[in-house]
Structure 1
Amino acid sequence: MEAGGTAVANIQSLDPSASPLDYYGWELRRQREAHGLKQGQLGDIIFCTGSLIGQIETTKKVPTRDFSERVDAALGTDGLFSRLIGLVLRSQLPSWFQPFADMEAKAAYLSSYQAQVVYGLLQTEEYARTVLATGLPDDLDRLVAARMERQRILERERPPLCWVVLDEAVLHRPIGGPDVMRRQLAHLLRFTGHRWMHVQVLPNAAGQHSSLDGAYTVMRFDDDPDILYTEDLISGHMTANPDTIREASLRYARLQAAALSLDDSAVLIARVMEERYGDQFRPEERTVA
């Protein structure tokens, strides 16, 4: 028993219909045994320990996308686990946040204003880890993996058109320290001239503005009503009320008018990165999609 007696007992009682994670563990064990492999043998093939295989089969650990791709290659499962991993990681999001993540993934157009932190789709992994750690989660790794999985919508052949307005305060708030912030701001600059993602900065000089009440995101769809998403201290809220959507859209238009242009925003981000976090952005590092 390579993963210990407890693991074997747990896998025997695993209900594959309980959750995507349970199904993944159940299917991994089924496919492994169908190939006549012990946990350690499969681990040797995909360069991990048999113990890790056992922990994933018993839902003690959440698999990664890299692990899933290696299992598919080793077992010849035609992308099964690579497809499952998206569902697994999405299920690791807080229950109140999952409806928004589902809608975000389906949206054709996203417009978001962020007053405190970088928008989740634009966060680096180390920045996201620092932000998520403030909530004192039981399993930080799961939340970070789920947030990074959200960003895969930007890798689609036709991703949603995203327009993000960041308050200038977001650039100055040293989340994770200077090194983390330098890399985060450099990541934002890589979207300069991007076809699908546009980042504007609302400068401090704008003073009072139409969205002092806080962050929000408006999602538009090809065949469904628009949705407004907001958060409070405890949870998130979505509404498709036409009057509310109209008001939010008007406020967002005013925000964009008060914000710096796309090019001037990039200049400000680069200046803050150089002056506040000690590194100068090099234009040749930009990647334009």
Structure 2
Amino acid sequence: MDNLDFTAPPPKPTFDTRVALKYFKASGSPLDVAAGTTLFAKGDRANALLFQRDRMYFLVEGDVELTVNRAAIGTVCNGDIFGEMTLITRMPRTATARAKTDCRLYTLDKDQLHAALGAAPEFGLLLMSIMITRLRDTIAAVKSSGMLSGEAGAEDAGVFDKKLLNKLVDELDDSTRVPYQATRKIMEEGQAGVMMYVVLEGSVAIAIQGSTVATIGPGGMFGEMALITRGERIASAIAQTDCVLLAISRNVFLDLVCSNPKFAVSLLGAVGNRARQLAAR
């Protein structure tokens, strides 16, 4: 799966570029680079000792070429966002980005991203939409490659720390707590999604075409992608053990994103990490 890159922009804009530029201008930093400048290289990651920070980019003018092992894999054009996966997941870059022409960009580092989400929570929804588009493309590529297997998937790290999880429980009423017995199906691949779920107790298996790709434990979540895109479920979920889940509707989900930037940051990290895990299969 080395040909799958998560630095590249979606094949076509899935967002209002004028709105995205507004967020980058409000919280980010302008950057002008000459043709031939390397913005980042494959394998790069932040280094506090060298005062190096991960950044994501919005391209205002120019063209940026993306390469892996010197082979071109795509071109970033005006209005595209790129480089966000490394900033959000803290994992090394999966590609090299080099300016093909003189370029004008806006950049966001981690602190600026958090400031942007605090000032305009809807920016989190825009980023989630972009990342979910990438994740759906990844899943489609994994399916077509035949690399899904019957082996158990990796255990998902908890999305919400204990403090944030307890805050969620306190903010939501008791009707959102739903028990599921072991082996019961919670959601079905291909169906419309009306809820996302946070695991409070027990564990849940996530499966694509019958192959388990992840196991979700306490503090983990699933089902959020269909809420954001209003598309079909891309995976099924089955209770591995007796479970207690928080069932969150779209309206409640949107309220949480808008009222709690930490919730949005946690969601972005979860989507990014899932894309990375699937690419490693």
What is the TM-score when the length of structure 2 is the normalising length?
Answer: 0.26
User: Relative CO higher for 1 or 2, CA cutoff 8 Å, sep ≥ 6?
Assistant: 2
Where is the strand percentage greater, Structure 1 or Structure 2?
Answer: 2
More helix by share: 1
